[in-house]
């Protein structure tokens, strides 16, 4: 939420949030989601990162690779994860999210 009484930016002001900070917001958003057992490891050996952030103009595209919990409805878990990520990035990061792609690479027991 913008508070005009605190500070008004000038034309030369710049504000940038590093991808590392955005990834931390994403991790905090999903850490307690029932049905997620963790980030998906890279079994392919191609050194793919489990969280990818693509900047497109003023919006973000997020791709996250997860492990789901065996026995949970992964479609429903993915919807919860997507909602929490968008809420976290938009409310706490002040950035607009264009899309969030959730890819479950496997399942495991908690």
The confidence score (pLDDT) of residue 13 equals: 63
Q: Is 16 helix (H, G, I), strand (E, B) or coil?
A: coil
Q: Where are the alpha helices (DSSP H) in the chain?
A: 19-30, 74-91
45 alpha carbon, distance to own chain's centre: 23
Question: Which ranges of the chain have pLDDT less than 50?
Answer: 1-2
The confidence score (pLDDT) of residue 99 equals: 96
| Residue the block writes with tokens 């919006």 | 59
- List Cβ neighbours of 14 (8 Å cut-off, separation of 6 or more): none
Residue 108 has which token pair? 């495991």
The confidence score (pLDDT) of residue 49 equals: 86
Neighbours of 22 (CB within 10 A): 22
The structural domains of the chain, ordered by start, are 23-108 (3.30.70.1350)
- How far apart CA 40 and CA 58 sit, in angstroms, is 28
- How far apart CA 83 and CA 97 sit, in angstroms, is 11
């Amino acid at each position: 939420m913008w508070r005009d009484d605190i500070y008004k930016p000038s034309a030369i002001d710049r504000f940038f949030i590093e991808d590392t900070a955005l990834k931390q917001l994403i991790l905090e958003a999903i850490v307690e989601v029932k049905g997620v057992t963790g980030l998906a490891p890279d079994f392919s050996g191609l050194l793919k990162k489990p969280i990818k952030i693509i900047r497109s103009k003023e919006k973000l595209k997020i791709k996250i690779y997860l492990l789901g919990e065996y026995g949970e409805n992964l479609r429903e878990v993915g919807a919860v994860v997507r909602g929490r990520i968008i809420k976290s990035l938009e409310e706490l990061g002040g950035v607009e999210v264009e899309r969030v792609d959730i890819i479950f690479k496997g399942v495991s027991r908690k």
